[in-house]
């Protein structure tokens, strides 16, 4: 980031006199303009000066255009702060380097699950004082999303998007078979079997996709389970609930034969099994809505919340992104003005939603006709009411990626039985959690 020497010198001269030279004319930003208190931040703008902020993100292509739409709108809304979007590859590595070398971005596009891993490194700036000062209510946001942006009682950003997987199904296939969309595991398995088509030993239409072992957490919630114990320091899936998930997978995969591992990849690069009618049901998220609507002209699809488990438990995993302020930013006050303008004002949140076709983390925007009049959104909004974030343990993603999923993959490939799979996943997972319990 360029060092604006003239601006810094001017600020040094006027800060002693002007307590509130924060360039806080943020147009129609939520919660009012900044006061003389800077919430622990640092401001560099004097009268007539323009503060320049860098906004880092790793979305290129259409995502970059979406970010630049918001940046341009903010820049036009006031004349005190200018934001520039900077596309960064390998963003986290560069951020950690910049955080210790004086080149930290002011605002960053943030995958929320990282908060618990990086907040202890003191590279993110908490926003609690800003929120209190400007009257921004946490009740306007999804609790789980805020939890994922928090560490040790401090909030480090605001939710930009929220998402969760729901069940997409082919309406024509269901109508032809006289079926209703499933509401529980038994109905899911029954429908999947009825909709599967084999031609000899060749699978022509899969009733349901079982290709993603990483969805175990979602199924485990539906079984009434949780991934870690109450102390949040060990796995909690090597039990009857975890076994019920693998028994369901085994039934559909090996007994009812509704899917074949590698089926979707075998259709060829760029071929979507659901769009082409080769797949009757699939778990995916709101990010696929535009694709299915754009490229599936002949696809009549419906969406329902994830079917409940054997005891009626519901489950889905909430994911999504946020905006955070770098601790190394020299313009934290102005950075907050940008974040607040974007994520604490209904009109600006809706501009983002309509531009990106994402579900925003700011709940008041969801009452807009953009969401209410399009039935495609409602199943996801219903799902988000019970979806849970991943456990907040620094080593959770490593445990899941290196301990659990590889064992689940062996199970799906028929190379390991259920009991062995859960036992090995527990042993490896507990070791990885312990080895990565402390953030370094």
Residue 265 has pLDDT above 50, yes or no: yes
Domain annotation for the chain: domains and CATH numbers? 5-162+328-384 (3.40.190.10), 166-317+393-435 (3.40.190.10)
Residue 21 has pLDDT above 80, yes or no: no
**Of the candidates 334, 337, 339, which has an alpha carbon nearest to the alpha carbon of residue 324?**
339
- Cβ(323)–Cβ(109) below 8 Å: yes
| Tens digit of each residue's pLDDT (9 = 90 or more) over 419-429 | 999 999 999 99
Per-residue CA distances from 235 to 214, 230, 404 (Å) = 15, 10, 10
pLDDT of residue 271: 85
pLDDT band (50, 70, 90) for residue 99: confident
- Cβ(399)–Cβ(234) below 8 Å: no
pLDDT of residue 267: 83
Alpha-carbon torsion angle 193, 195, 198, 203, nearest 10: -90
| Tens digit of each residue's pLDDT (9 = 90 or more) over 123-168 | 999 999 999 999 999 999 999 999 999 999 999 999 999 999 999 9
């Amino acid at each position: 980031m360029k060092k604006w020497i003239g601006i810094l010198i001017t600020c040094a001269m006027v800060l002693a006199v002007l307590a509130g030279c924060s360039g806080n004319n943020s147009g129609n930003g939520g919660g009012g303009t900044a006061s003389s208190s800077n919430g622990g931040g640092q401001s560099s703008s004097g009268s007539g000066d323009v503060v320049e902020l860098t906004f880092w993100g790793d979305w290129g292509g259409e995502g970059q255009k979406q970010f630049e739409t918001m940046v341009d709108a903010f820049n036009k809304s006031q004349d005190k702060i200018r934001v520039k979007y900077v596309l960064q590859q390998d963003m986290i590595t560069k951020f950690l380097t910049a955080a210790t070398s004086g080149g930290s971005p002011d605002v960053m596009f943030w995958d929320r699950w990282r908060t618990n891993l990086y907040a202890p490194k003191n590279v993110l700036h908490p926003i609690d004082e800003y929120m209190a000062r400007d009257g921004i209510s946490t009740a306007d946001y999804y609790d789980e999303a805020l939890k994922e942006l928090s560490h040790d009682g401090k909030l480090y950003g605001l939710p930009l998007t929220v998402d969760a997987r729901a069940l997409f199904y082919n309406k024509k296939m269901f109508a032809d078979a006289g079926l209703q969309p499933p509401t529980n595991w038994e109905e899911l398995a029954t429908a999947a079997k009825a909709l599967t088509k084999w031609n000899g030993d060749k699978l022509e239409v899969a009733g349901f996709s079982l290709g993603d072992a990483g969805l175990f957490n979602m199924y485990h919630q539906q079984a009434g389970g949780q991934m870690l114990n109450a102390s949040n320091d060990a796995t909690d899936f090597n039990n009857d609930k975890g076994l019920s998930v693998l028994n369901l997978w085994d039934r559909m995969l090996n007994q009812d034969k509704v899917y074949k591992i590698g089926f979707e990849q075998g259709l060829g690069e760029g071929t979507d099994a659901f769009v082409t009618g080769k797949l009757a049901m699939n778990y995916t998220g709101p990010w696929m809505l535009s694709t299915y609507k754009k490229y599936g002209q002949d696809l009549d699809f419906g969406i329902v919340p994830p079917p409940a488990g054997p005891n009626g438990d519901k489950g889905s995993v909430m994911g999504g992104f946020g905006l955070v302020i770098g601790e190394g930013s020299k313009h934290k006050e102005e950075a907050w003005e940008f974040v607040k303008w974007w994520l604490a004002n209904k009109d600006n949140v809706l501009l983002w939603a309509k531009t990106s076709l994402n579900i925003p983390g700011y709940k008041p925007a969801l009452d807009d006709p953009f969401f209410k009049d399009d039935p495609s959104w409602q199943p996801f909004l219903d799902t988000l009411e019970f979806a849970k974030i991943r456990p907040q343990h620094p080593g959770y993603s490593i445990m899941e990626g290196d301990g659990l999923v590889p064992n689940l993959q062996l199970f799906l490939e028929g190379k390991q039985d259920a009991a062995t799979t859960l036992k090995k996943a527990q042993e490896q997972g507990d070791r990885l959690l312990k080895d990565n319990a402390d953030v370094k």
